[in-house]
Amino acid sequence: MTTTRENPPSAFLLGGDLPVSRMGFGAMRLPAREIAGPANDPETSAAVLRRAVELGVNHIDTAWFYFHEGLSANGLIRRVLRPYAEDLVLAAKVGPVRHPDGSWGAPAGPRELVAGVHRTLRELGRDRLDLVYLRLHEDDDATSAERFGALAALREEGLIRHLGLSNTTTGLLAGAQRIAPVAAVQNMYGLFHRRNPDVLDACTEQGIAFVPFFSLESLGRQEPSEPLARIAARHEATAAQVKLAWTMARSPVVLPIPGTSSVAHVEDNIAAADLLLDPEDLAALDALPG
């Protein structure tokens, strides 16, 4: 893989005080490749997590509801990485309710959100969480203030360092900011699904971390072979690496968290942080239907 110009800053100051690598790691696929299973081999998943940290990742995104049968992302993180490095930033999500059999319940109310934070603290073996996202849902226009307020109260208690929103809009972001500072936003975003660009713009303007999930997905769409394949070949990179590099080039606040259950893939994903696309590459990719 080749680069074409000097590398940009490789770190971002999350919340103004936590330096994190711009390429992070999402733990959703550690228990199982798909949320419904089958379960992964625990030692393979442990090796993936260990390799990500060896390659410089210090921003890991997890959630208590990332589990399959007896294997959970939080349990793997605790087993493999504890005692935690001082610079390791663990971000967690609360909001959905998931039952032990893997089925999903109604979105969590304030009391369940608080329980989810305490559960995450226990599972990770930490006294405070670096970042907690409220995962929003389509009815949150009416309930987001109360739910976000419950997390803001935990922040005041010292159990949470920074707060974030997931699946948000600019309106919901502004509403949350009237309650407490928002350090990060986690939305679906990638080359072939450029949703809510106004949210990315707002984060860029305010210096809020924008953490895209599913950056490598096409959401069932047929991907055009050109110019993606041509650009990848010229840089001796993979199509996935080009997608990640394009995403990072959108704004200096973008912190991708690609997840995988493969050691080879985690190595490729992290290497994408060093892939610098030139203006012609970016213009050609920008022109693709998103």
In sign, the C-alpha dihedral spanning 68, 70, 73, 74 is positive
196: left (phi over 0), alpha (psi -120 to 50) or beta: left
How distant, in Å, are the alpha carbons of 56, 90, 155, 267 from that of 45? 17, 17, 31, 14
Residues 48, 249: Cα–Cα separation, whole Å? 26
Is residue 36 within 8 Å of 28, Cβ to Cβ? no
104 DSSP β-pair partners: 98
Q: Note the Cα 151 to chain centre separation in Å.
A: 19
Q: Tell the residue number behind the tokens 């996935």, with chain if given.
A: 240
Measured CA to CA, the distance from residue 198 to residue 202 in angstroms comes to 6
Catalytic residues, by residue number, are: 66
List, as one string, the DSSP characters of 201-255. Answer: HHHHHHT-EE--BSTT--TTPPPP-TTHHHHHHHTT--HHHHHHHHHHHT-TTB-
Contact 60, 25 (CB under 8 A): yes
